[in-house]
């Protein structure tokens, strides 16, 4: 997955999190699942950026 695809996926999951927060408790299992998915994607994005930076150096 390239940077643009990952960024798009992050925005999609972030939108799901915001939408779900409007009708679910912030501590609900659904919110926790979406939040965890977003965390994993953000971590993956950060690793990808760091890898690209190392290739440039």
DSSP E strands, the chain: none
Residue 6: predicted pLDDT: 97
pTM value? 0.89
Chain segment 7-57, per-residue pLDDT in tens: 999 999 999 999 999 999 999 999 999 999 999 999 999 999 999 888 876
Q: Which long-range contacts (CB under 8 A, 24 or more apart) does 3-11 make?
A: 3/45, 3/48, 3/49, 3/52, 6/41, 6/44, 6/45, 6/48, 7/45, 9/41, 10/38, 10/41, 10/42, 10/45
The domain limits of the chain are 3-56
């Amino acid at each position: 997955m390239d940077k643009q695809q990952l960024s798009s996926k992050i925005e999609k999951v972030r939108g799901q999190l915001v939408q779900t927060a409007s009708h679910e408790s912030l501590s609900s299992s659904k919110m926790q699942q979406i939040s965890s998915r977003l965390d994993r994607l953000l971590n993956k994005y950060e690793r990808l950026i760091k890898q690209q930076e190392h290739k440039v150096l």
